[in-house]
Amino acid sequence: MDIAILLGALAVVGALLTLWWALSGPRHATATLDLGRVDPATYDLRAATLQHGAGTRAVRPLLERVGCWARKYTPHGRVAALEQRILVAGTPRGWTTERVLAVKLLLGGTGAVLGLLQLSGSPSLAMVVVASGLTLIGFFGPDLVLSHKATDRQNVIRRTLADTVDQMVISVRAGLGLDAAIARVARTTEGPLAAELARVVQDTRAGIPRGAALNTLADRVRVPELRQVVVALAQAEKLGVPVAQTLQVQAAELRTKRRQYAEEQAQKIPVKMIFPMMIFILPCLFLMVLGPAAINIMQTLGA
């Protein structure tokens, strides 16, 4: 392949990586502005704007505009599925729907350009497969990252749910109501489940019924065990069953399910180890065991 084409492809990849670095993560302001002390006659808007980074002033608005354009021409079902995936992932900072769509479009286009450059350098069926693979990886890469984040977050919530319900049982038996118990657990614990419970507290204080707030929590998290706890609390409130007793039963069931889930994951380990053993370990063993014998046979036949 021509060296100029290769350098151009590397430059495109480096530019996109720099763009992603500039837009991901929080950016702290270089200066603070006290609106009470601003004099409109002497305030320099251009100087205040230049205090922000290039990503805030130019790249981020461009990316948002590309994302709005991509959202306009993306089917509504795909957009809704992407929004739900972002919600399950915990709405990471900076991961808006428009930004994810823009990144998908840019990475997919970059993969297509790199594939076409490879294809123009050496046309073959393998290069067609490489070009298609680069395009698909660039386009679906953000979806894979979001799915990974959502799975990790759900696993953390699943592991901490039983302990959280136990704390709620202790709070309710100590004389607190269910709303106060949820607020106390959200205040005294950390993690994604505590953040979700704090959001439930905010919703109830805003006037949303507790049952609706808990159902919304289950829809956001998409963990079956948490949905079971929400349904049990709704039935207990409807039938007049003591909340502490219901929570205690749910905590015991959650601990049993957590143990069963851990045993299930442990039983999958031998199956997952087959392919690494076949690819990395068994060839080395064959070389160590059969290598000396093969060398002796070659020396014997050569003599």
List the domain boundaries for the chain.
155-259
Average predicted confidence (pLDDT) for the chain: 79
Q: pTM to 2 decimals?
A: 0.69
Summarize pLDDT for 213-265 with one digit per residue, the tens: 999 999 888 888 899 999 998 888 888 888 888 888 988 898 998 888 888 88
pLDDT at 3: 60
Summarize pLDDT for 74-99 with one digit per residue, the tens: 788 888 888 888 888 888 777 777 88
Q: 199 burial class (0-12, 13-18, 19+ CB within 10 angstroms)?
A: middle
| pLDDT beyond 80 at 173 | yes
| pLDDT beyond 50 at 28 | no
Q: Which residues of 150-165 are buried (b: 16+ CB within 10 A; e: fewer)?
A: beebbeebbebbbbbb
Cβ pair 164, 191 in contact under 8 A: no
List Cβ<8 Å contacts ≥24 apart for 251-254.
251/162, 251/165, 251/166, 251/169, 253/228, 254/161, 254/162, 254/165, 254/225, 254/229
- Read off the pLDDT of each residue in 267-276 and give the average, rounded to a whole number: 85
**Half-sphere exposure at residue 85, Cβ-oriented, CA atoms within 13 angstroms:** 19
CATH T-level topology, domain 155-259: Receptor-associated Protein (1.20.81)
